[in-house]
Amino acid sequence: MSDLQAETTEVLQKLIRFNTVNPPGNERAAIEYLEAYVREAGFETELLAVDDARPNLVATLTGPGEGPTMVYLGHVDTVLAAAQDWQQDPWSAAVVDGFLWGRGALDMKSQVAAEAVAAVSLARDGWRPARGALKLVFVADEETGGEVGARWLTEQRPDKVRCDLLLNEGAGSTFEHGGVRHYGVCCGEKGIFRLKLTASGMAGHASMPRLGDNALLKLAPVLEALKPGMVGLDPTEIPLAMIAALGEDPSDPAGALERLAAQTPLILLMLEPLLAVTMVPTVIQASEKINVIPASAYVKVDTRVPPGLGADVAKRRMLELLGDAADQVELEFTEEVYGYASPAESSLMDAIDGWVSRHDPGAKTVPTLLAGYSDSSYFRAAFPEVVAYGFFPHRHQTLLDTAQLVHNKDERIDVRDLGYAAQFYVDIAAELLG
């Protein structure tokens, strides 16, 4: 594992030093580096792009026999980083006190590096799948919706990325509960049903407040009503399976959540949003001029819905949360993206369970959802039979550690986890593809 750790660290450092903040992305240099790296080891490679500056890499290692196609998926774009706020330059990829620092160190150039190094390590040693194929799909544009990345690939070039098994981001950091270390395995993502709540009034000069009807003020009770962020539970299969895996009764999710949180407060933060429609105001707009009373004002609400549920549930829960304040606004959906999930029981899950048992005796896996969204959903929509999980195992950095660093300043990863994850990707490919 030490060799894997050293090489994964080196590859990750090179990836971080490519500034791929999206927008604009500019992922070509990072993708071309990865293409050369995996091609030299024997992979067949192809760059596919709708935007020449933002290609996607599909690299394939095919075996002699028929079997499943497994995809290791990852994106190389990142969110922005304000260098003045960081302790280390976010594009230096410095290793300090055992941690590799930089934008993308967790989300998700680290996983791309681990997947690439694992695949290259296998190929260099002469391994080829006995059955099926191993594909590396490294994409652009995940952070702003995949219009030139995974979404475009699955919708416009599905023949190039069709698969049966898929591993992507979404889980793998550990948390302690009941004296046992647990690894989450992300089986699905919540859907996105964003709402715009608009209040109407009458314009006037701001120097004479009684002559107008200020629409902005009508949003005050709306914002107050939105404070809790959710109302009621709408549990679906995966979070109920997680409750069961943690030793609680899934038929009483509210009671189970209370009991679990009493033992491990982190579980409330992690599990509660997966059991409910969440509604968080993030954008507000009113007058365009400081001296004009606004005749219209709106607030945009980021609404996330458990997989399998849709706009009807989102609207019902919004009206419940708003209560009487709903009379102040008109509701309009500005985005409707359904969430998808893969079954929690599969040969891939069995392989993950077995690997964790061998490499971290006494630890357990639990199925979970991603409260946000990932490129896995595009693959599930395009290929309904695919089993797609998010899993990037961390032995040394906990879920609480990583959750506080993703999209934040001082993003960093324990380099020991790079070798740990790379070993996982080596072993899983060899086990499932022969």
pLDDT at position 1: 60
Residue found by looking up tokens 């946000």 in the block: 372
Cβ atoms of residues 126 and 136 within 8 Å? no
2-177+340-433 and 191-234+276-337, same CATH topology: no
pLDDT tens digits for 187-221?
999 999 999 999 999 999 999 998 899 999 999 99
Domain ranges of the chain: 2-177+340-433, 191-234+276-337
pLDDT tens digits for 155-197?
999 999 999 999 999 999 999 999 999 999 999 999 999 999 9
3-state secondary structure of 142: coil
pLDDT tens digits for 26-65?
999 999 999 999 999 999 999 999 999 999 999 999 989 8
What amino acid occupies position 112? V
| Phi, psi dihedrals of residue 216, rounded to the nearest 5° | -60, -40
Q: What's the average model confidence in pLDDT over 270-296?
A: 96
- Measure the CA dihedral 205/211/215/219, to 10°: 110
In this prediction the pTM is 0.93
**Other residues' Cβ atoms within 10 Å of the Cβ of residue 238:** 24
What CATH number has the domain spanning 191-234+276-337? 3.30.70.360
Residue 222, pLDDT > 80, answer yes
Cβ atoms of residues 198 and 329 within 8 Å? yes
Instruction: Domain 2-177+340-433: give its CATH architecture.
Output: 3-Layer(aba) Sandwich (3.40)
